[in-house]
Amino acid sequence: GAGVSQSPSNKVTEKGKDVELRCDPISGHTALYWYRQSLGQGLEFLIYFQGNSAPDKSGLPSDRFSAERTGGSVSTLTIQRTQQEDSAVYLCASSRYSNQPQHFGDGTRLSIL
C-alpha cells in the first residue's frame, strides 16, 4: 500500500502480558515516529528514528517500553508487563526526510484488561 501500515489494528490483552506493535512506513521514508493517543488527550511523542542515527527515546514513559527499527524500514514497539494505563491508540508516522510532514498510520488500539 501507499500509506503507513500498522498491525494489529486492535489488541486486547491481560495486564502483565507483553505486546508487540508493528509499523511499516511509507517506502523511501527515512524518518519514523511513534506516538500514543489516550482518550481525551493529545498525541504524545514516544520515539523517533532517523536513518542510522541514534533514536530519540526521550518520550518513552518507562523502561517497560522499547522500540527498534530493523534495516531502516519496519519498526516494532514493545511494551512489557502491560498496565491498564497503557491502554491507548498507538500511532506510527513516517516522513521522507526529517523536515517534511509526517504521515500517520491508522494506529493500533490497545486495551489492557
Partner 1 sequence: GQNIDQPTEMTATEGAIVQINCTYQTSGFNGLFWYQQHAGEAPTFLSYNVLDGLEEKGRFSSFLSRSKGYSYLLLKELQMKDSASYLCAVRDLRNYGGATNKLIFGTGTLLAVQP
Residue with cell 523517533: 48
Looking at the DSSP bridge assignments, the partners of residue 94 are 32, 103
Contact 93, 5 (CB under 8 A): no
Residues 21-50 that bind partner 1 (CB under 8 A): 31, 33, 35, 40-45, 48, 50
Q: Is 101 in the site for partner 1 (CB under 8 A)?
A: yes
CA-to-CA distance for 93 and 5, rounded, in angstroms?
9
Interface with partner 1 (CB under 8 A), residue from 27, 52, 58, 84: 58
CB of 16 to partner 1, least distance (A): 28
Residues in contact with partner 1, total (CB under 8 A)? 27
Query: Cβ of residue 63: shortest distance to partner 1, in angstroms?
Result: 17
* φ/ψ of residue 71, rounded to 5: 65, 20
Q: Does residue number 98 form part of the binding site for partner 1 (CB under 8 A)?
A: yes
